[in-house]
Structure 1
Amino acid sequence: MSATVHLATPLGPLALTGSEEGLSAVGFLEDAVPATPLAQIPAHLQEAHRQLRAYFGRELRDFELQYAPLIGTEFQRRVWAALLGVGYGRTASYLDIAKALHDPKAVRAVGAANGQNPLAIVWPCHRIIGANGSLTGYAGGLHRKQWLLAFEQPTRQGGLFS
């Protein structure tokens, strides 16, 4: 059975949705909602909730969760999987991701897939920037993308994939 819980973050509330099969969505909410009390978090969402709290507490850099996204074409899923190769504190361009998929002409398609990522932060689409280093679109808003990149900055070593 699918459930949604809310987590307070420095960027506003996050909605975490999932079932016993895994985490299916993590998204920013624009309206204030109270955080879900720990005692009311279903067992199947407790680990995702714990890991996101640890991420924002600077205690976790890499997520290890069971995923069960409800959306995504085969190409989108390949793009989202490639996002996991862009380590904490690093960035990559849309072209870098297209090249990693052995399809350098798919830059625009990579950008579109990146924008449809159902698991914000966990699948780090915020680490994807323009080839010239500019911040490009982010479904959660550019202010959040900028914040996340700055938040990860203390360990930034430059370069591409970790």
Structure 2
Amino acid sequence: MNTTAILATPLGPLALTGSEAGLSAVTFLDEETEATRPAAVPACLRPAREQLVAYFGRELRDFTLAYAPASGTDFQRQVWQALTGIGYGRTASYRDVAKLLNNPKSVRAVGAANGQNPLAIVWPCHRVIGADGSLTGYAGGMHRKKWLLEFERPTRQGGLFG
């Protein structure tokens, strides 16, 4: 059975959802919601909470959690897995991700899968940009995507393969 905890972040509250099987969702909340006290966070969500706190504290760049997304086609899951290969401070285009999946014609499908990513920040869909370097859609809002990219910028080293 899934359980949820709320984490206060510089981007507003995040809802963390999961079970003993793993983290199933990290979702931005647009309304102000009281954060779950650390001691009250369910045990299955504590690693996710701790790692997100460390990420926002600039102490963590790579998440190492158990994942249990509630949905997703095989293709979506391939795209979401590919997102984890885009390093902290780096970006990749939708075309880069499609090529990485050996399916260069799937650029639009990659974009659609990226938009359905259930684990914001943890599976870094915010690092996917347009082929011309422009910021493109983000389910959490463009202001959050821009903030996350700027937050990671001090270590930016180029594109996915750079």
With the length of structure 1 as denominator, give the TM-score of the two structures. 0.99
Q: Does 1:45 align with 2:35?
A: no
Output the CA distance in 2 between the equivalents of 1:120 and 1:160: 19
Secondary structure of the equivalent of 2:12?
coil
Aligned equivalent of 1:134: 134
Output the CA distance in 2 between the equivalents of 1:96 and 1:135: 15
After superposition, where does 1:32-111 map in structure 2 within 5 Å? 32-111=32-111
Q: Percent identity?
A: 73
Task: Give structure 1 regions of 4+ aligned residues with deviation exceeding 6 angstroms.
Answer: none
Shift, 1:161, TM fit: 4.1
Secondary structure of the equivalent of 2:105?
helix
Output the CA distance in 2 between the equivalents of 1:68 and 1:161: 28
Output the CA distance in 1 between the equivalents of 2:54 and 2:67: 18
Output the CA distance in 1 between the equivalents of 2:123 and 2:159: 19
Q: Per-residue displacement from partner, 1:1-48 (whole Å, max 9, x unpaired)?
A: 210000000000000000000000001000000110011111100000
After superposition, where does 1:147-162 map in structure 2 within 5 Å? 147-161=147-161
Output the CA distance in 2 between the equivalents of 1:62 and 1:29: 23
With the length of structure 2 as denominator, give the TM-score of the two structures. 0.99
Shift, 1:160, TM fit: 1.3
Output the CA distance in 1 between the equivalents of 2:61 and 2:152: 9
Equivalent position amino acid for 1:92 in 2: A
- Unaligned 5+ segments in structure 2 are none
Output the CA distance in 2 between the equivalents of 1:21 and 1:126: 25
Secondary structure of the equivalent of 2:153?
helix
Equivalent position amino acid for 2:114 in 1: N
Indicate conservation of the 8 Å contact 1:90/1:161, yes or no.
no
Aligned CA-pair RMSD: 0.8
Secondary structure of the equivalent of 1:31?
coil
- Unaligned 5+ segments in structure 1 are none
How many aligned positions are there? Answer: 162
Output the CA distance in 2 between the equivalents of 1:92 and 1:31: 30
Equivalent position amino acid for 2:60 in 1: L
Output the CA distance in 2 between the equivalents of 1:24 and 1:39: 21
Shift, 1:159, TM fit: 2.3
After superposition, where does 1:106-125 map in structure 2 within 5 Å? 106-125=106-125
